[in-house]
Chain A
Amino acid sequence: MIRIANGQGFWGDWLEAPVRLIEGGPLDYLTLDYLAEVTMSILQKQRKADPTLGYARDFPPLMARIARRVLDQNIRVLANAGGVNPIACAREVRRLAPHLQVSVVLGDEILARMDELIAGGNEFRNMDTGESISCIRDRVQSANVYIGAFPLAEALATGANVVITGRCADAALALAPMLHEFQWKPDDWNRLASGIVAGHIIECGTQATGGNCTFDWQSTPDFAHIGYPIIEANPSGETVITKHPGTGGRVTQATVKEQLLYEIGDPRSYVTPDVVADFTTIELSDNGPDHVRISNVVGRPRPEKLKASISYHYGWKTVGTLVYSAPDALAKAQAADKMVRQRLHDLNLNFDKIHTEFFGINACHAHLAPQVPEPAEVQVRIGVRSTEKASLERFTREVIPLVLNGPPTATGYGEGRPQVREIVAYWPALVSRDVVSTRVEVVQ
């Protein structure tokens, strides 16, 4: 049996988590997930400005912090911290922690080859909308293919303490150690699917251990010291989800079920580069306190095509806010919204959308929110979106004047004018498997 933990559910997750995992009990592998869908475009811009950047900058200092224990306890780390520049990331890790052996997995990036691939018959149609790539081709900022777990296992075979990848399927980070240790074959679909299901359960960190769980949340123990999830993986494919003893949170069938269903489509076909997993056969059972056993996972052959993650410039957006106090807080906020919209109309500005929410009244649940009889205060929040940046710049001047011009008791404008932010949007597409060739490099 091997223990595989996840110490980072996204870039921005708790900095102490990987350290607590290493100090809190036995562990064989530590996985860290840094890449959200549009993170790649941010990293692409950073690399353009400075060729030594373009990776998750939190990662090298973290490795320096835990290097001694990683070596002493023989824990191996897998992270997609490489972003669009895994080699630079590896070099920085080596600079800060020279005793660590680092291998990288390359080959996920296809940005420079997009035109060649399109000419070769890859349509890159948007998987959600069916639109043609020609709609956005000249605005593409990053393009990467989700790679599977086999190249990561190959990198583990180099003996590296740390394996760094760019874009890979999130759950592949957890499957790779199982491939390496148990030597599962590429067509052992049920075992591969078992590893992917366990990886899916831990990939969002504490969402498997009681975090963000709606089941009787008030009784969740000790959120402040919540334990991060650990897979106990067996050669048979059976896994147990657990956490270190003495940590907060809990692992129950309820917490595991919520995470199983998180961000999935058809549960019969959870598609990954290595296997298609069926979630409708999975059996869960209690295996002692904070131990949930996962068995009977069924897998089907891997897909013909791989998923590409493409990001592109969409336009601009900004959000202006003001707070109104009681009495009549909502009525004042509504009058303010009406006033801003009238002035925007009079200025003849060009917006794709204007969206108003009244915070404390309807921001999250719109018409489904419970009625509040007399709120103490209401924030009016006006968001605007446009492909014309100038219209948004003008909008940022149209909110604060209401403090003197409009309904009484406007406050909460201390941050000043809102910032106009670029919208980088996500374009999911499919690409032939044979155009992607990965390779492993040991970084000196």
Chain B
Amino acid sequence: MKIPLTRIAHARSGDKGDISNVGLIASKPEYYPILLREVTAERVKRHFGRLVEGSVTCYELSNLAALNFVMEKALDGGGTISLRTDAQGKTHGAALLTMEIEVASGELTD
């Protein structure tokens, strides 16, 4: 079945220049393998579409049951240059949490 990512994860995002990074954290450690399987750099790049012009790299932190997505050319020039309301990518975490993923019903423990 399809569920939004927010059902099994939480996130925080921020900026460094024109780079936006989203830390995506499994709400329970047992959901981490679902994140690894469903939330790849390619899918994240496709999800953000025109919001992210550069490449997306995924880093794994199995110790925190978390992934870190580093997205380049993601902020219309970044910080002071950007004309966007969200010039610092503060809401990119929330935007990623709207992404739909596929899970088997038995995979959800609550």
Contact = CB atoms under 8 A, between A and B. Distances in A.
Contact of B12 (A212, A363, A423): A212
B51 A214 contact: no
A54 B94 CA distance: 37
Interface in B59-110: 59-64, 66, 68, 70, 76-81, 83-86, 90-91, 93-95, 97-98
B63 A281 contact: yes
Given A38-B79, A424-B80, A367 B85 contact: no
A266 B60 CA distance: 9
Contacts of A190: none
A3 interface: no
A150 B16 CA distance: 25
Contacts of B68: 261, 264-265, 267
Interface stretch (A102-110, A155-163, A379-387): A379-387
Interface of B: 6, 10-12, 14-19, 21, 23, 25, 27, 47-51, 59-64, 66, 68, 70, 76-81, 83-86, 90-91, 93-95, 97-98
Main secondary structure of the interface of B (DSSP, over half): mixed
A258 B83 contact: no
A236 B94 CA distance: 37
Contact of B17 (A317, A423, A428): A428
Contact of A368 (B19, B47, B79): B47
A384 B83 CA distance: 7
Contacts, number: 136
A92 interface: no
Contacts of B60: 280
A267 B59 contact: yes
- Kindly list the 5 A-B residue pairs having the minimum CB-CB distance in the complex, ordered from nearest: A261-B23, A383-B83, A355-B83, A258-B12, A263-B14
Interface string A348-383: 000001010101000111111010000000000101
Given A257-B23, A317-B83, 5 more contacts: A212-B12, A265-B70, A317-B81, A364-B85, A426-B80
Nearest to A284: B64
B61 A280 contact: yes
Given A261-B12, A364-B91, A214 B86 contact: no
16 contacts: A214-B10, A215-B27, A258-B10, A263-B15, A284-B64, A317-B83, A319-B83, A353-B83, A355-B83, A355-B84, A364-B85, A365-B94, A366-B51, A367-B50, A425-B77, A428-B17
A314 B10 contact: no
A291 B37 CA distance: 32
Contacts of A264: 21, 23, 68
Contact of A262 (B12, B59, B91): B12
A357 B85 contact: yes
Given A38-B80, A264-B68, A284-B64, A257 B25 contact: yes
Contacts of B83: 317, 319, 353, 355, 383-385
Given A283-B63, A384-B83, A263 B16 contact: yes
A253 B11 CA distance: 13
B14 A355 contact: no
Contact of A261 (B17, B66, B90, B94): B66
Interface in A287-325: 314, 317, 319
Contacts of A138: none
A267 B79 CA distance: 22
Given A214-B11, A282-B64, A37 B79 contact: yes
A254 B83 CA distance: 32
A128 interface: yes
Interface in A244-281: 254, 257-268, 279-281
Contacts of B14: 262-263
Contact of A364 (B17, B77, B86): B86
A133 interface: no
A252 to B, nearest CB: 11
B64 A368 contact: no
A213 B23 CA distance: 12
A213 B10 contact: yes
A207 B70 CA distance: 20
Contacts of A424: 80
B56 to A, nearest CB: 13
A326 B78 CA distance: 34
A425 B80 contact: yes
Given A262-B12, A426-B80, A363 B23 contact: no
